[in-house]
Amino acid sequence: MLYGSILQQLETSHRYSTRPIHFGVYYKNTLVSLCHALEDHVLTKNDQPLVIAAFQQGKWYAQEAQRYTDIAKHSRAVVIMAADDAGFIEHPTSKLDNVDLVGLKPGDSVSQEWHLIILSPEYTAMVLCQELSEADYSCRGIPNTDLERKFYGLWTFEPELVKETANLAIAHIQKYNPQLAEKLTNDVNNITTTVSSVQDVSTVVSRVIDYLKIEQDHIYTATTKKVESLDRNLVSNEIQALLRMAQLMDLSDINNPMAATEVAGIVETMGQLLDLPAWQIKRLRLAALLHRIDPMQKAESMINHSNSSRYADDPNCPLTCSLIPGVQALRIMPRLRAVAQIITHQSEWWDGTGKPTGLAGDDIPLESRILALAAEYQWRVNQYRYSEDKGIELFARALDHCREQQSTRFDPKLVDTLTLLVMGLQQGLDLPLLKPKYSSSIWLLDSRWDVQNKHSQQMKIYLQ
């Protein structure tokens, strides 16, 4: 990271904190899709956000300047930072009363960054990235194709992180325009940020996935190794979008803020007790992290999926049905069809009286049965944790509740497995409650899918 850059300052401030920041690598085509999706939500709202953007060169701003005219109409203030070159100042958007330009001096580290910071009372989001240096590209060298340029950084919806970054950006603007910095500081102080509503985040995430999917369609027919890496980067960010939504759903649930993480830990341990293969445990863990994704059923997609054979249902996943619209965002992503199936059928009952299709017994996917039991157990433990009756040990009390429903709602064999897990908890077993690194989520995918679809390289934890 370049010394003095906004990205470097943010990383330094969190390096030894309880909230370290995990960064990822993004191709330019991914960042374009992300920024357009996040900006579009501004155009649909009237909550007057503060928008701070940084472009590496004025020419990149000039390409987006007309779009920023529309954004300015919905914003209290728009600030653009970029290297001061041709076309940067002359565009009519720059003349708007609530648009300010900050021309960066040669050698300014921020001139190598790509930022979009959106701060409002009801919606916060940001993309914060820095282009890789020539040395970072190593022996491959700087790419010839613009879309294959790589950037290091993160994107997030977290209000506190967005507000902190906005203040760092304003401090940098202070060096160029103290009066503007003072005005922006007042704007930030007057904005009381809260976690975005689940519905708002659902809509944004749906839009992010759509933009990424559209960009993916542009490169899907190509077969070169470089294009394949672009495709993988887009897929990783589709998953990140969903995981971020799940994270915010937990944060907005003040009564059960660790639901997804704790359920993921339970299903992972149950999978190990059942001796499931590693790929299946990873898939089950991802389903657990996303198991409360139901609010996405209200988010409309821009893509007409019925016209694309690429997204047609996989005959190898016959149980993935259309009765649960909340998982449609998963179903259009081939790698996540199995996860969509798990989530869809978590509400089936062992005796066949559940929904959505009334499956019974072993006809219910195993992972769906595990997820259903784990989610109920976690919810009960959390409920009893805050109950007035402290006399009964909460692990045993939650287990007894699940036992009452074995052979009706839950698979009796899995209740036995849960019993073993609870015995371990009572003896001091710690669940693997590791939160996912949202910048490196592609490792959660079932690598067998790639083999079946002629993606020969093994999934890696890091992005190429």
- Model pLDDT, residue 329: 55
Region 242-426: CATH code:
1.10.3210.10
- Model pLDDT, residue 220: 54
Question: Would you kindly state where each structural domain of the chain is located, as residue ranges?
Answer: 6-194, 242-426
How do residues 383-415 score in pLDDT, each as one tens digit? 887 765 554 588 888 999 999 999 999 999 999
- Model pLDDT, residue 127: 92
Mean pLDDT of the chain: 77
- Model pLDDT, residue 196: 62
How do residues 255-301 score in pLDDT, each as one tens digit? 888 888 899 999 999 999 999 999 899 889 988 988 887 544 433 44
The CATH number of 6-194, from 3.40.5, 3.30.70, 3.30.870, 3.40.50, is: 3.30.870
Tokens, residue 333: 């992503």
Tell me which residues of the chain have a pLDDT lower than 70: 58, 85-88, 138-141, 143, 147, 195-201, 216-236, 248, 251-252, 294-335, 387-392, 432-464
| pTM (2 d.p.) | 0.69
